Structure 1
């Protein structure tokens, strides 16, 4: 039996480092074949290979390997409102989304605020030399979505603690990440045992991935193993938002 081929290589990291140092349209166009060969195509192959095992975690989640409109983010940055005007991202990312969001995602680029009307938790993968990570949860939800999550925490404290305080979850992800409010939201008891979670504006869990892991031929199994550990959080958030899991 032939040995499984790795998805990424040292050339993947070399390209992303070079792009970070030479972030211009002229440089990128001159090196676009390297991007296609060492970053985009292997990432799309990985995404395609993640779809079936991801559906074993939840049949409602999608890893879409379409080159346009799928899970992989565009390499182009949206610089319209950014102080940083460099045109390209020196990293690659993919969002594995709930199927209910498909109708409102435009362009498959969830990092550009394209989640439309419907918020849903998802799984994420980020590849950057020396700074790669994966995780899951919901990032920058809309105000109404945030209110529903907070109310669900208040009404279901035991299940929230079960989803985010287990030994396995804490070993894999530590504490939740993202932004939090400095003050207690209006209408909530400052003395509530979960007030720090109620103050959150994001509900995400993440874990670092070293470069050696990304070069492993069994990378999908390693990613899915981590997503299984994040699954209780995603499941709980789906329950808060009346989404199937």
Structure 2
């Protein structure tokens, strides 16, 4: 990849300082530093968006638009610290034909690239489960593929402890049927995040989500007979 845009160490160091001084007076006094580091993150996010857009159709307008606000919504939270101590953002796939979302999270000691379905609604969850119950093999094949295991290990996300309503506890696909979320996560060390290779590694991680996304999109845009519902 020609684009060797990197994340500087100062962008992670700023987060550590913010974590130790998570208050408005300190943030206001260091606003110039924050804006400088934010620019580095937006530039990286823009380069990643540009590369990802070569293989997928996204509606996120720019790297800048993808980055989440640093300000926390504390209205309903017991934690009243005003600022997030990580850089995060997401890319939205375009049109109702393409399901699943891409996410990045950059934080010292806790950086990861993720994607999937964080909060599927009841109708989508029911549709996915009915497909898994009818024919689990296509999804099992994706989850057992060499590239999936190498990149993500296993499918992650919140699961039921027993079984979903209307399904048999002894069903052959009960492990799939228990999922309430469908998350793909790959973690990175600080050294990897700061490496010139990170942009390419992040892109490869997103690309390796595509077989999963494509199949989930197929399920969620058709009925149990395979007829389009769009």
Residue number in structure 1 paired with 2:225: none
Residue number in structure 2 paired with 1:26: 25
Deviations 1:57-116 (A, max 9, x none): 32x23454264xx21111111112211111111001111111237xxxxxxxxxxxxxxx
Residue number in structure 1 paired with 2:93: 98
Residue number in structure 1 paired with 2:215: 236
Any runs of at least 4 consecutive aligned residues in structure 1 with deviations exceeding 3 A, and if so which?
3-6
Residue number in structure 1 paired with 2:198: 219
Residue number in structure 1 paired with 2:9: 10
How many residues of Structure 1 are paired with residues of Structure 2 in the alignment?
Answer: 222
CA separation in 1, counterparts of 2:122 and 2:139?
Answer: 20
Q: Is the 8 A contact 2:44 2:63 kept in 1?
A: no
CA separation in 2, counterparts of 1:31 and 1:65?
Answer: 25
1:84-233 correspondence to structure 2 within 5 Å? 84-100=79-95, 120-233=99-212
Deviations 1:144-183 (A, max 9, x none): 2211221222233111112212122112111111211122
Q: Is the 8 A contact 1:54 1:62 kept in 2?
A: no
Bigger Rg, which one: 2
CA separation in 2, counterparts of 1:203 and 1:33?
Answer: 39
| CA apart distance, 1:52 | 3.1
Q: In angstroms, what is the RMSD of aligned CA positions?
A: 2.3
Gaps of 5+ in 2: 223-227
The question of 1:81 aligning with 2:76 is answered yes
Q: Is the 8 A contact 2:7 2:44 kept in 1?
A: no
Change (3 A) 1:156 1:41: farther
CA separation in 1, counterparts of 2:59 and 2:193?
Answer: 21
Residue number in structure 2 paired with 1:43: 41
- Matched residue SS, 2:168: coil
Q: Is the 8 A contact 1:132 1:211 kept in 2?
A: yes
Change (3 A) 1:119 1:230: closer
Residue number in structure 2 paired with 1:56: 54
What TM-score do you get using the length of structure 1 for normalisation?
A: 0.83
- Matched residue SS, 1:133: strand
Residue in structure 2 matching 1:65, options 48, 62, 77: 62
CA separation in 1, counterparts of 2:214 and 2:11?
Answer: 33
Deviations 1:32-66 (A, max 9, x none): 2111112x1111111221223212332x2345426
CA separation in 1, counterparts of 2:4 and 2:138?
Answer: 41
- Matched residue SS, 2:90: strand
